[in-house]
Amino acid sequence: MKKMNYRIVRLNMLMLMLHVFLIGISTPLLSQHDSLQSKSQDSLLQNIHDEGLLLIEASDSALKKDSVAQAELLDKIESLRKKDKSKKEKLQKQYDSLQLVMKTRNEKIKHQVDSIRANTPGIPVLLNKDTLLYVYSKLGPFSPSERAHSIERKLKQIADGFDPKALSVIHGEETSDLFYNEIIVLSITDRDAFWMDKKRDLVILDYKELIIKGIEKYNSDTSWLKTLGRVGLVLLVLLILVFMVRYLNKFMSKVVKYVGLKGKKYLKGIHFKNYEILTYERELQVVFFLLDVIKWMLIVFIVYAALPLIFSVFPTTEGIANRLLGYILDPLVLIFKAFVGYIPEMITIAVIVVLTRYFVKFLRYLSSEIEHGHLVIPGFYPDWAKPTFNLVSFIVHVFAFIVIFPYLPGSDSPIFQGVSVFLGLLISLGSSSAISNLVAGLVITYMRPFKIGERVKIGDVVGDVIEKTMLVTRIRTIKNEDVTIPNGAVLSGQTTNYSSSAMELGLILNTSITIGYDVHWKKVRDCLIEAAERTNLVNKEPKPFVLQTSLDDFYVSYQINAYTNRPDVAAKIYSELHSNILDVFHNAGIEIMSPHFRAERDGSTVQTATENDI
């Protein structure tokens, strides 16, 4: 408990120090910011004021010229009173037209000046954060902002012991001055009256009433009774803050204790299949850490929420309160406005996504129907259905992304575009071989050189196709070796398919032996056919047949050919066929060898095999 109280005391001291620190640093920062803002606004007001004066001067110049012309016309009209009546009527029409032009021009200039008045922000004169009046024009060497600050300083100077009866107005040739005893509070010129669209003597009287009300309100707000009330309110806020932090600590301590006691009931560790990512003890430590982070985040939030309340109590620190609130509220408002403004784009994206999804579902349905043979398209094979669906689906999704891309937030920013170009360049440079394999896989799909499960020979590799993707083809050999071959190598090499015609025509397995000329060929043929017919998985029809492939110097080459529908077990069939050949030839007394003879001829008859030898 003592440790907890010590922490609370430390927190309160830290908060008070932060309060004093922020008050200390805020004044120069705010003054510097206001100084820059005032200079900018002075320049803007001066430009707008000059524009208004130019309009008025142009109006006055035109008015003088028109007045002279009007006077001349009146003199002419007066001189023609008793003479030429038609000429008098003509001059009268010119006079009326001139008056109409003057009226139209004056109305246009008045409209422009009124627009300038309505859209021009002045420099506010503030007293205790309340705006009393605005200053628009400069006076002598003093800019509008300097005049406003001077008026504010003098108002605070006369506020102590203020007597409304001591305020008096003195009108001069160029200015109307408001005095408080011997102090000139403010001076009003014709330029100031121009912005108020009133006469100078009326403007100074309006300002006098505003100043009286403003100072009375200022004295009321800064009285010792209200100051005492503000101090009490600050202490109340601090007390509530201390209690909130204290009971938050107690609550989080109880939560930690409860988790420690009941953790085994809810925490079982984190597993992925057979791998244990987090044990129970480590998971408990993570939960404790997260609870501690949540606790301190809540404490920071409570303290930060209390600071604007504390600063807003006193008029001198009210600006800090507004800024602290602005740091949180301004980003939230911007996010909300951005979200609301982005709703039309979100609706457009949602419509595109929904249409794309259901179109892809329709394509998947067609693909499934073609693949299962329910929908037959002449010239389009069922095994093309799935890869074609994948290809078209990819194109549709890419097209949808291209359409959606301009509606994504930040898609037109240079950073987003630069990252997109960089990624595109990186992918294009690093995936040239992958793209070639991808194109080869697409070509192989529609060439149909083999299917999944078929026995093939690609290069020097013989085995069954177990996987066929857009990038690689995987083959499992008879030794259960999985060999991955890039599709580029498959397309550029030679592929032999042992299974494509095995069921319809039968795959012909063949093996060769050599027998000497002393054994009749018919006897060898019959033995080979008998050995083939004894072999399992060799078709009875068509029957096995023997080819005499060559007549060499010392022996004859025989080739036994047998049909089978099982190319997947060709190695086993070959092994059994070889065993049967050995057995049959052994029983027939025929020695399987390739004899080599050296013959010395003495002119006797050449001995050859006869029918009796069979």
Q: Using one digit for the tens of pLDDT, what is the confidence trace for 490-518?
A: 988 899 999 988 888 999 999 999 998 88
CATH number of 507-587: 3.30.70.100
Query: pLDDT value at position 311?
Result: 80
Q: Pick the residue with more confidence: 95 or 24? A: 95
Q: Taking 90 as the threshold, does the pLDDT of residue 573 lie above it?
A: yes
Q: Pick the residue with more confidence: 14 or 446? A: 446
Cα 290 to Cα 145: distance, rounded to the nearest angstrom: 52
Query: pLDDT value at position 16?
Result: 40
Query: DSSP assignment of 291-302, as one string?
Result: HHHHHHHHHHHH
Q: What six digits make up the tokens of 592?
A: 């399987």
End-to-end, the C-alpha distance of the chain in Å comes to 116
Q: Taking 90 as the threshold, does the pLDDT of residue 528 lie above it?
A: yes
Query: pLDDT value at position 307?
Result: 84
Cα 322 to Cα 309: distance, rounded to the nearest angstrom: 10
Query: DSSP assignment of 356-381, as one string?
Result: HHHHHHHHHHHHHHHHTTSS-BTTB-
Query: pLDDT value at position 126?
Result: 84
Is-contact 515 581, C-beta < 8 A?
no
CB-facing half-sphere around the CA of 425: CA atoms within 13 A = 6
Strand partners, 562: 509
64: Cβ contacts below 8 Å, ≥ 6 apart = none
Cα 339 to Cα 407: distance, rounded to the nearest angstrom: 13
Q: Taking 60 as the threshold, does the pLDDT of residue 203 lie above it?
A: yes
Q: Taking 50 as the threshold, does the pLDDT of residue 30 lie above it?
A: no
pLDDT band at 11 (very low <50, low <70, confident <90, very high): very low
Query: pLDDT value at position 338?
Result: 85
pLDDT band at 112 (very low <50, low <70, confident <90, very high): low
Q: What six digits make up the tokens of 432?
A: 């040239």
The strands making up 472-476's β-sheet, listed across from edge to edge, are 482-486, 472-476, 461-468, 455-458, 495-497
Average pLDDT over residues 270-295: 84
Highest mean pLDDT among 42-51, 357-366, 370-379: 357-366
Cα 139 to Cα 144: distance, rounded to the nearest angstrom: 8
pTM (2 decimals)?
Answer: 0.50
Q: How high is the mean pLDDT of the chain?
A: 80
Q: Taking 80 as the threshold, does the pLDDT of residue 144 lie above it?
A: yes
Per-domain residue ranges of the chain:
33-119, 123-222, 225-340, 345-430, 449-497, 507-587
- Helix locations, 197-279, DSSP H: 200-221, 224-266
Which amino acid, 302?
I
Cα 252 to Cα 1: distance, rounded to the nearest angstrom: 15
Question: Which one of 3.60.40.10, 3.30.1360.70, 2.30.30.60, 3.40.50.300 gives the CATH number of domain 449-497?
Answer: 2.30.30.60
Average pLDDT over residues 130-152: 84
Query: pLDDT value at position 269?
Result: 76
Q: What six digits make up the tokens of 113?
A: 């000046």
Average pLDDT over residues 536-563: 93
pLDDT band at 207 (very low <50, low <70, confident <90, very high): confident
Q: CA torsion angle for 54, 55, 58, 64 (degrees, to 10)?
A: -120
Cα 314 to Cα 107: distance, rounded to the nearest angstrom: 49
Angle between helices 144-159 and 200-221 (to 10 degrees): 50
Q: Taking 50 as the threshold, does the pLDDT of residue 17 lie above it?
A: no
379: left (phi over 0), alpha (psi -120 to 50) or beta: left
Q: Pick the residue with more confidence: 52 or 557? A: 557
Query: pLDDT value at position 349?
Result: 94
Nearest to 260 by CA among 237, 238, 285, 236: 285
